[in-house]
Amino acid sequence: MKKTILLTALVLNGLTSFAQTNDEKNIKLFYKKALTEAKCYTWLEYLSNDIGARLSGSKGAEQAVEYAKSQLESLGLDKVYLQEVMVPHWVRGEKETAYILNGKVKTTVPICALGGSVATPKTGLTAEIIEVQGIKELNELGADKVKGKIVFYNRPMNPENIETFTSYGACVDQRYAGAKEAAKLGAVGTIVRSMNLRLDDFPHTGAQSYGDLPKAQYIPTAAISTNGAELLSKSLKANPALKFYFKQSCETLPDALSYNVIGELTGTVTPENIMVVGGHLDSWDLADGSHDDGAGVVQSMEVIRILKNLNYKPKNTIRVVLFMNEENGGKGGAKYEEVSKQNKENHIFALESDSGGFSPRGFSIEADDVNLKKIQGYKDLFEPYLVHSFTIGHAGSDINHLTSQAIVKAGLKPDSQRYFDYHHAANDTFDAINKRELELGAATMTTLMHLLDQNGIETKKAN
């Protein structure tokens, strides 16, 4: 009899140890909702295929604001509204042309103007071209070897890094500041190898800045595809005296009025504490920006849709913010923070998705040691969903502006291996999106938002 009682107790204890916690049950429900009822893929299809490119100041950006607002309103949130923001308005103009001029032989190569660049002369620009591996090498050459030439920045992304954003960060300076630095030495233009790990024929655009140079010193700058860069480099080795021709007709128009799109569920315990989830609504003009950052926009909308659909009553106010103008100015994030300060708002957590719609792997976190360990303490809850990476790192460009006294920030970390195949290029289109991966990302974001809403963040106690 005693043996039977003991065996029964062991069995019951065993069953208890395998019983799901409330957190586990909720997380399973979030993933179920995302994988069976999500709207994010449908939202993204419309945003990408019916609206298309959404560069700040464009008709597409205006349509995206209207569409996102209408979809958030359809969810029955406590508040949905627009926040005015003035944004840069740069237009590409006619499709760019370029070729390598080797004697009388012309070899066409794919290029695209970098955002914010000035145009070439109407007939185009022809000059000798000099190859460098980066700004440091450029400056070592000096004005004597650079003046009157086109500078060709050809430092590739390092393929050795498993985290591809590390490779991007190590060479994107030549895209952003390359024209400015070359202009200082008398260059007449710059051509920059695309930020892309694979060899293909898609030039990748992106922001560049002339800094504090006077406008008279602005020079045209463009990206060249990785295949084009390889060919140009090989051709220069065979004939250093060859010339390069390119033509682009871009221009910067007066700033335009646009909007951040905001929706929220009001907190039931501490509504004055705000938790943000968001992505950026604008995209570059070469494609519809499905990965950058249509995916982040619809995933953020999905987070608040799931919570609302489950009739979840958050302790803190949860706010979805679709930022405008991340790509070429960051005005949306800056305006959101400006208004937040004016209203004396207290943000305790911000989560951004701006790394593509691929399978989620974890989060990049900006937090002190205490809150980092707290989030890492949730790791076991995420591991059944193959989410495992919780590391210190940059959370996101838009939420980077937030400066509340006690705030934790996180960025969704999808698998990054394919991201730069599409980043800022003409192939960043809806057909590159995997529905299931997109939905898994939304569920992962919902999970972290829920855990931190329930458990709060740790704040330093006054002495």
User: Which position among 131, 264, 326, 337 bears the catalytic label?
Assistant: 326
Helix axes 369-376, 435-455, angle to 10 degrees: 120
Per the CB < 8 A criterion, the answer to whether 143 and 185 are in contact is: yes
Using a CB cutoff of 8 Å and minimum separation of 24, what contacts does 58-64 make? Answer: 58/89, 58/91, 58/285, 61/87, 61/258, 61/281, 61/282, 61/324, 62/258, 64/281, 64/282
Closest CA to 449 of 271, 280, 318: 318
Q: How far is CA 205 from CA 83, 100, 325, 420, in A?
A: 28, 20, 15, 12
Q: How is residue 130 written in tokens?
A: 């000099």
- Does the annotation mark 94 as catalytic? no
3-class state of residue 150 by DSSP: strand
Residues 6+ apart with CB under 8 A from 86: 255, 256, 257, 258, 331
Report the 10 Å Cβ neighbour count for 213. Answer: 15
Helix axes 59-73, 295-309, angle to 10 degrees: 10
Per the CB < 8 A criterion, the answer to whether 55 and 283 are in contact is: yes
Rounded to whole angstroms, how far apart are CA atoms 123 and 435? 45
Q: How is residue 96 written in tokens?
A: 């760019």
Side chain identity at residue 111, one-letter code? I
Closest CA to 307 of 22, 23, 26: 26
Residues designated as active site? 326
